[in-house]
Structure 1
Amino acid sequence: MRKINEIVVHCTATQPDFMPGASTAGRVGEVKRWHVQINKWSDTGYHYLVDRDGTVAEGRPLERIGAHVARHNTGTIGIALFGGHGSAETDAFADHFTPEQDAALRTLIADLEARFGDLKISGHNEYAAKACPGFQVARWLGHGPAAKPAPEDQDEATAATIYRWRLAEIRDLAMRALAGE
């Protein structure tokens, strides 16, 4: 297995209703088609893709270097969220993505960190003049201003997302404790 030190978050820049009625596998197949037929890559550039309903699908095998950030693919895992069309890097996560994607992405990151240790988590827009993934990853993770709303400002979906995020944090701490860290 190659050494992993970072996760880079992306978006597919697709509309919320991209390929209505298609399965996650069908949408992933379309992204792969773009990457193989149009970009002339050997496979989809991302290692994981997160669908609007929170389904996580595998793309390129983790053993292989991705094709998702020019000059920053070695040692990284690329994760793309379906959606993000028309986004700006200053937008909030919830402007373009679902609570299910939020929970799934946080869980996937926690699972990958349990497997590979502490990882830098960044957005594509930190390496290129692009909006992708359509939000500031550090702020979304809770490292920036106004990352977590006050309890009285939370709607039910936000509260549920924060609850799932905290469960992922607790699971991560438990995994580290079991590993003797």
Structure 2
Amino acid sequence: MRTVTLIIIHCSATPEGRSLDFEACRYDHIHHRRFSDIGYHFYITRDGEIYRGRALEKVGAHCRNHNSHSVGICYEGGLSSEGSPMDTRTLEQKASMLALLRELRNVFPRALIVGHHDLNPMKPCPCFNAVKEYSSL
């Protein structure tokens, strides 16, 4: 198993009222971004369903300069219907994210939980303060 020091939370930058399911995100990453697979290790849709992307043993493609030592989690959403950054997580997504983070904490107890914005301030992603929200885990 590789050494993981970060668990990085992302949003898909999908406006409210529009859908970007797991397979659509995977298709975009493979066919438009030319990745070998979806860049995230996990993807959480609005209904709270958690999809496995890349295997944890594999390096992700979700945060430049941090992929080799991180796990990437993305939730569907992150933009208002007008396209402005906004925390659009549903109650189902919040519950699933918390459960997933608790599981990952067991596997990677020393990993810091951060938002993409914390590593790249030019990006609003994940459109909420992940460090503050998950500081008690």
Say whether 1:139 aligns with 2:132.
yes
Looking at secondary structure, tell me which structure has more helix per residue.
1
Correspondence 1:97 to 2:89: yes
Q: Would the aligned equivalents of 1:87 and 1:96 in 2 still touch at CA under 8 Å?
A: no
Find 1:71's aligned residue among 65, 71, 83.
Answer: 65
Separation of aligned partners in 2, 1:87 and 1:50: 20
Tell me the distance in 1 between the aligned counterparts of 2:131 and 2:117: 11
1:111 aligns with 2:103: yes
Partner Cα distance (1:61, 1:16) in 2: 29
CA displacement 1:157-180 (0-9 Å, x = unmatched): xxxxxxxxxxxx6xxxxxxxxxxx
What is the one-letter code of the residue matched to 2:134?
Answer: L
TM-score, reference length from structure 2: 0.88
Whether contact under 8 Å (1:10, 1:80) holds in the other structure is: yes
| SS of 1:74 mapped into structure 2 | helix
| Residue aligning to 1:120 | 112
TM-score, normalisation: structure 1: 0.68
Provide runs of 4+ in structure 1 moved above 4 Å: none
State which structure, 1 or 2, has the greater radius of gyration over its C-alpha atoms: 1
Q: Distance in 2 between matches of 1:100 and 1:30?
A: 20
Residue 104 to residue 87, structure 1, CA distance change in 2 (3 Å): farther
**Structure 2 unpaired stretches of 5+:** none
Q: Take 2:93 and 2:84, find their aligned partners in 1: how far apart are those partners? A: 16
Instruction: Map 1:5-44 to 2 at 5 A.
Output: 5-19=5-19, 27-44=21-38
Structure 1: any 5+ residue segments left out of the alignment? 20-25, 144-168, 170-181
Aligned length: 133
CA RMSD in angstroms, aligned pairs only = 1.8
Most deviating of 9-18 and 61-70: 9-18
Deviations 1:81-101 (A, max 9, x none): 00012343xx5xxx4111111
Report the Cα offset of residue 142 of structure 1. 4.9
Aligned residues with identical type, % of pairs: 35
